[in-house]
Amino acid sequence: MATRVKPVAPEHLGERAADLFGERFGTVPDGVWIAPGRANLIGEHIDYTGAKTMPFALPYATAVAVRVHSHDRLRVASTAYEDVWEGAVSEVEPGHPNGWPAYVAGVPWAMTYHDTIARMPGLDIAVHSSVPEGAGLSSSAALESAVALAIAELFGAATDDAGRRTLARDCVTAENIVAGAATGGMDQSVALRARQGRVMLLDCSSFAVEYLSLDLAAAGLALLVINTNAPHRLVDGGYALRRSTVERVWSGIGRAAVSEGTDIDEVLRRAAVDDPMLTGALRHVLTEIRRVDAVAALLRAGELAAIGSHLTASHASLRDDLVVSSVELDCAVAAALAAGALGARMIGGGFGGSVLALVRLDHIGLTLESVRRAAHDAGLPEPDFLHATPSGAARRVC
């Protein structure tokens, strides 16, 4: 029988991070902070056009135990890796270190670069996470955001909403410049600014937010995250290629094409794009922006079940127009819909990762079994199923 992976309580995440800190560094941390992973209800691959997206925080999070010291050393440990990474603070720079430590070391580097803090400190950091890595649930943004909030609080930087917007910017810089991953600011914004029981209607041009209620249980509904266990890797090039394609075609059109309410076919005709890939990218952006507006209107009206068709249409656009899906994602979407899901779509950068499905509470078991069986019959990895309850933002837990 397929089952859902239960979230780990924040205090238990924090305790494990603190225990690891003691094991690896032989002392106690100054504190422990957590930040959540995220799912995006609608609005995929349009954040970097400055359009609106609709992310929410998941009840799966990353905890960091942090201690500041006066040495020119940065030491990072994780329950996911056996070795402690260690390097000189002064040697952190664009492209260094490599791999997962870049998402940690890059944050204080970026905070210093932007003058959020006066100097890059020596740090010991221990990490424990319940956000599945490579599942398209923004494990990297959760890690960055937890580190950023910890450093901000320890050094007296602002942590109100305006301060958290600044920290999100710093995290984006860390990921883009030090880690070398071409991501936007949506993931870090939701990790730092989410609200319990709400989705964020996030304007990615101004980073203004409207919080919309998503009381699924009251409507007899649930959102499931289906982790296909086919990991996506944003630094492998597929995401960056699609992003550059979208940015290139969008630069010649701009948001006025949408705000004018012009027919999409007319916009495509005026764009005079001959390349089918560019035409598909533009069609996806235009239709996804309108889907975000439609879903926002339905949520304001309390018509939660009606958003399902827009989720499914989003997946079709990502699959056929932007071409960022995968056989695992398509299989999970088809199986969920076949079991009666009201809507389903891939989430995240694509090329693997996870699916978000809107299901009736009394259809959860049927949906889980349908997706599991379809993956098995197709010779694909066995998926995991996660709760997708809108949760709170990064915070200190001890």
Catalytic residues: 187
Instruction: Give the span between the Cα atoms of 156 and 309, in whole angstroms.
Output: 46
| Phi–psi pair at 296, nearest 5 degrees | -60, -45
**Hey, what are 12's tokens?**
């238990």
Q: Amino acid identity of 78?
A: S
| Phi–psi pair at 181, nearest 5 degrees | -105, 125
Q: What is the 3-state secondary structure (H, E, C) of 129-149?
A: ECCCCCCCCCHHHHHHHHHHH
| DSSP code per residue over 322-337 | I----HHHHHHHHHHH
Q: Which helix H or strand E contains 10, and what residues bound it?
A: helix 10-25
Instruction: Give the span between the Cα atoms of 202 and 191, in whole angstroms.
Output: 12
How many Å is the maximal CA-CA distance in the chain?
65
Task: Print burial letters for 23-37: b (CB count within 10 Å at least 16), e (below 16).
Answer: ebbeeebebbbbbbb
Which segments of 36-185 does DSSP mark as H helices, in order?
A: 101-113, 139-154, 161-173
